[in-house]
Structure 1
Amino acid sequence: MNCRFVCCHECDEICTIPHPTPPGRYRCPNCGHVIFRHWPDMTERIYATNLAALFLFVLINYFPLLSFEVLGNRAEATFTTAVLYLYQEGDYLIAVAVLMTTLIVPLIRILLNLALFGPLYHGRLPRYAPTAMKLLEAFGPWGMLDVFMIGILVSIVKLVKMGTIVPGISLWAFAVLIPILAYGQAIFDPHPVWEEIEKAQREGRIPSPTERIA
């Protein structure tokens, strides 16, 4: 069995990993940090989870998030109206931050995963795979749906004493979307994708960095 080398993200130790890599969790022998978890069917799982996430994302933005009724007056709120209310109140930076972290960035990540792992699922590596991987890494820290969910729960607890709150379809879809995205992020291992990219670059199926510079 051949070996490949992986650099530990914590201590920079060069670790040897058997190749082909058996399923399991691999730790750095120096510091014990988990280098990565190998899932043989990672492509299929990530493709399926992001298809489900895209469907839920459409539901979240189409149906009401919750309904609030006080003295017979009823109002419905959606994700987009929440951003609009913040903007109308003059909280421009907060409105932009909520828009980016709860709508734009999560949608971009879902579409990038589908654009990358969809072709991989069908046995084809797209030419834009290196760019997609770099964008996924760049947008990773900006997805904060779980933080927004906590804010919604806190707001519901505070408002429940003032009137009647009815959770909408969007809220339930949002509650399902968070663990699905978390699961997809937990099983994501960039190593086999980068290995496939390097192999394709050596074979000339996709341009190498030196060719793009030239």
Structure 2
Amino acid sequence: MTEPVLDVNANAPRAPASARTHAALIARPDLLVCNECGAVHERITIARGTVARCRRCNALLGRAHLMRLDALLAFAIAALLLIVIGNTAPIVTLDLRGVVTQATLPQAIKATWDAGQPLVALLAAATALVFPLCFTVLRVYLLASLLRGQVPPAFVPAMRVLGFVTRWGMVEVFMLGTLVAVVRSASLASATPGAGLFAYGALTLLLTSITAAGTHSMWKMASQLGQTR
């Protein structure tokens, strides 16, 4: 079910919202800007389980989720811990005729690099480690500051970076590729999933829940606090 908000600037140029636009509107909690086309909307209350879309370009403006900011912070902290576990514990253990081999994610990325596949190694490192780590660290930093009643320094740039890493974090794709590799390896050797793989499985669920909550509640709280830097 979709419940759009009122477009109060339908004649504005069609252009993505800039950081300056967000900074100007953060002092106006009654207004909301579309990140895709720059249209300004009047914020209204929508029912839980529904979403708000831009009347100009139909882009998602926000959703009414059930999670509070403190719950999102708890999820983000848990996700950060799972990233640590996922990168320090073995992803898979292979037993080939008595020769046991274990590999963590950083070791697997290094082995891919050494095998002459630097592009694949860089993509794996970015989508499975760098972007998810940036996503969770930014979430913890921003949510913890807002819940203390403070707008964190560089709030607007941090939110824009958060939007970028959200689009490029592909832990679920990494999980699918890893599961396929484990299944194929099972035909050559005894393959046992490790704690790192289970950690990334749980991380996928947490990141999906956090991403589904969106960021508009964070913008709204920052607006209510009445200032940005």
What TM-score, normalized to structure 1? 0.81
Asked if 1:78 corresponds to 2:97, the answer is no
Contact 1:61–1:79 (CA<8 Å) still a contact in 2? yes
Q: How far apart, CA to CA, are the structure 2 residues paired with 1:78 and 1:42?
A: 34
Asked if 1:179 corresponds to 2:205, the answer is yes
Asked if 1:25 corresponds to 2:25, the answer is no
2:25 is aligned to: none
Q: How far apart, CA to CA, are the structure 1 residues paired with 2:58 and 2:120?
A: 39
Report how far residue 66 of structure 1 moved: 0.8
Q: How does 1:44-59 map to 2 (within 5 A)?
A: 44-59=70-85
Q: Give the length in aligned residue pairs.
A: 200
1:108 is aligned, of 91, 116, 134, to: 134
RMSD over aligned CA atoms reads 2.7
* Cα-to-partner distance string for 1:41-91 (whole Å, 9 max, x where unaligned): 531122011110011111111111110011111111110111111111111
> What residue identity is the alignment partner of 2:133?
L
Q: How far apart, CA to CA, are the structure 1 residues paired with 2:34 and 2:143?
A: 25
Q: Secondary structure at the match of 1:76?
A: strand
Q: How far apart, CA to CA, are the structure 2 residues paired with 1:67 and 1:133?
A: 39
Q: Secondary structure at the match of 1:161?
A: coil
1:156 is aligned to: 182
Contact 2:86–2:105 (CA<8 Å) still a contact in 1? yes
2:152 is aligned to: 126
Task: Note closer, same or farther for the CA distance 1:118–1:25 as it changes in structure 2 (3 Å cut).
Answer: same
2:120 is aligned to: 94
Q: How does 1:6-17 map to 2 (within 5 A)?
A: 6=32, 15-17=41-43
Task: Note closer, same or farther for the CA distance 1:101–1:29 as it changes in structure 2 (3 Å cut).
Answer: closer
Q: How far apart, CA to CA, are the structure 2 residues paired with 1:118 and 1:12?
A: 28
Q: Secondary structure at the match of 1:127?
A: coil
Report how far residue 192 of structure 1 moved: 3.6
Structure 2 gaps of 5+ residues are 1-5, 7-29
Q: How does 1:175-214 map to 2 (within 5 A)?
A: 175-188=201-214, 190-198=215-223, 205-207=227-229
Q: How far apart, CA to CA, are the structure 1 residues paired with 2:82 and 2:222?
A: 30
Contact 2:72–2:210 (CA<8 Å) still a contact in 1? yes
Contact 1:15–1:28 (CA<8 Å) still a contact in 2? no
* Cα-to-partner distance string for 1:155-203 (whole Å, 9 max, x where unaligned): 1121111111111111111111101011000012x33433444555xx5
Task: Note closer, same or farther for the CA distance 1:139–1:67 as it changes in structure 2 (3 Å cut).
Answer: same
Aligned residues: percent identity?
A: 26
Structure having the higher helix fraction is 1
Report how far residue 122 of structure 1 moved: 2.4
2:161 is aligned, of 135, 138, 151, to: 135
Q: How far apart, CA to CA, are the structure 2 residues paired with 1:12 and 1:133?
A: 16
